[in-house]
């Protein structure tokens, strides 16, 4: 079966799967989806060539991509991705949180990797098309969502490296997800990594680029060996300025009650500009919490935690929303943040953000984009 739906100029050819899971099979999967393990019935693909620009947009059955072994991405890792979620609102509709911001960041990542930009209407149109057919995969239990993973790979065939690829493939896949770190707001223990760096000035740290993750797995394994849940990245030059935690940005809370104020590492080009981070920079002051973008060193972190001036630390990102950090380990020893329990500022911000995403709080920022079916 094939018919067209048009989004902003480019028509999506619709090729429905003949092996769609039954409603019963889907419901059974949605009971306990885990994270990033199961995928919906369809995916969206759009091709790019230097001659034709973006073309051949389609919704097709979810399935393997067929690639020549000499395909550029397999050798030189020219790849960028995004991560966002579709949420089920109380009235049954589906919404995404700031998808335009993901589209814009996708293009900034692409530009860094010398890849073509994808017009925002196509990025959002791909989401709209997938949700129109796989919307039933957006779960409705608390803290669940449909995780959307748009990505782009270089597809020129050949091993030459003198120029970037001239052809690309954009793909959007979707995976129903439960809570990312099981247990919801369970605090994590972090490892301050001094042996490996994630990103250097002038490098690729601000791009959502698969290679940043490839380079991080060894440090993450070291963190786990040290009994920690996550790695904290320090700057590449002095190994003391805190940058981010795994795939999440960090916030530090100083003082408490009406005195509470927040600090998050400034965007220096070596950390990923999170959309959750950006949203909290706007939400916190509205809740009476002053917030500053600045620097914090590992020594300052330890001293402020020891003196009690530092009252809470949390990480934030789309996948795990807001996760408290309770313990910090490094080659110099170990310390705890306050009583090691999720703090009131962490929980208040989490409640506000989750309320906006799940449509239980009014959206005064125009951040919620509904995809009505």
Ligand X SMILES: *Cc1c(COP(=O)(O)O)cnc(C)c1O
The residues binding ligand X (CB under 6 A) are: 83, 208, 244, 247-249, 272, 274-277, 317-318
CB of 258 to ligand X, least distance (A): 28
CB of 275 to ligand X, least distance (A): 3
Nearest Cα neighbor of 83 from 223, 233, 210 is: 210
- Is the Cβ of residue 235 or residue 244 nearer to ligand X in the bound state? 244
- Is the Cβ of residue 57 or residue 199 nearer to ligand X in the bound state? 199
- Is the Cβ of residue 82 or residue 156 nearer to ligand X in the bound state? 82
Q: Which helix (H) or strand (E) holds 336?
A: strand 333-336
DSSP-derived secondary structure letter, 329: E
Distances (CA, A) of 180 to 21, 86, 145, 152: 24, 15, 10, 24
Q: Per DSSP, which regions of 145-260 are E strands?
A: 145-154, 167-177, 188-193, 230-234, 242-245, 248-254
CB of 224 to ligand X, least distance (A): 18
- Is the Cβ of residue 154 or residue 279 nearer to ligand X in the bound state? 279
CB of 152 to ligand X, least distance (A): 15
- Is the Cβ of residue 71 or residue 270 nearer to ligand X in the bound state? 270
CB 79 within 8 A of CB 33: no
CB of 293 to ligand X, least distance (A): 15
- Is the Cβ of residue 125 or residue 265 nearer to ligand X in the bound state? 265
CB of 178 to ligand X, least distance (A): 17
Nearest Cα neighbor of 233 from 190, 276, 202 is: 190
Rounded (5°) CA angle 276-277-282 = 95
Nearest Cα neighbor of 94 from 36, 138, 124, 133 is: 138
CB of 83 to ligand X, least distance (A): 6
Pairing verdict, β 2-7 and 53-61: unpaired
Which neighbouring-strand residues pair with 173? 149
- Is the Cβ of residue 59 or residue 188 nearer to ligand X in the bound state? 188
Q: Which helix (H) or strand (E) holds 103?
A: helix 99-112
Distances (CA, A) of 136 to 86, 171, 176, 215, 360: 11, 20, 10, 36, 20
Q: Measured between alpha carbons, how far is 92 from 140 in angstroms, rounded to an integer?
A: 8
């Amino acid at each position: 079966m094939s018919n067209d739906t048009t989004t902003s100029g480019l028509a999506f050819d619709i090729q429905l799967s003949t092996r769609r899971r039954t409603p019963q099979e889907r419901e059974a999967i949605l009971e306990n989806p885990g994270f990033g393990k199961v995928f919906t019935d369809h995916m969206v693909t759009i091709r790019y060539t230097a001659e034709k620009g973006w073309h051949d947009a389609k919704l097709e059955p979810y399935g393997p991509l067929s690639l020549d072994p000499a395909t550029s991405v397999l050798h030189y890792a020219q790849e960028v991705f995004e991560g966002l979620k579709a949420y089920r609102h109380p009235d049954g509709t589906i919404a995404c949180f700031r998808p335009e911001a993901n589209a814009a960041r996708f293009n900034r990542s692409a530009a860094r990797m010398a890849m073509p930009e994808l017009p925002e209407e196509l990025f959002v149109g791909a989401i709209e098309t997938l949700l129109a057919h796989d919307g039933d995969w957006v779960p409705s239990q608390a803290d669940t969502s449909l995780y959307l993973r748009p990505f782009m790979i270089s597809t020129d065939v050949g091993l030459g490296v003198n120029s970037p690829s001239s052809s690309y493939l954009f793909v959007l896949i979707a995976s129903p997800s439960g809570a990312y770190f099981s247990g919801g707001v369970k605090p994590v223990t972090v490892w301050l990594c001094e042996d490996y760096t994630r990103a250097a000035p002038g490098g690729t740290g601000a791009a959502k680029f698969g290679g940043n993750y490839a380079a991080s797995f060894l440090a993450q394994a070291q963190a786990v060996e040290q009994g920690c849940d996550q790695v904290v990245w320090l700057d590449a030059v002095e190994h003391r300025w805190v940058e981010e935690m795994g795939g999440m940005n960090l916030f530090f809370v100083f003082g408490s009650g009406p005195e509470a104020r927040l600090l998050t590492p400034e965007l220096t080009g070596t950390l990923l500009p999170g959309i959750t981070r950006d949203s909290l920079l706007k939400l916190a002051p509205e809740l009476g919490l002053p917030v500053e973008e600045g620097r914090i060193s590992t020594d300052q972190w330890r001293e402020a935690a020891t003196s009690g001036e530092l009252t809470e630390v949390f990480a934030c990102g789309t996948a795990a929303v807001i996760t408290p950090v309770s313990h910090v380990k490094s080659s110099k020893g170990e310390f705890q943040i306050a009583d090691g329990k999720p703090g009131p500022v962490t929980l208040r911000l989490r409640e506000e953000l989750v309320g906006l995403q799940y449509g239980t709080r009014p959206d005064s920022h125009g951040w919620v984009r509904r995809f009505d079916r």
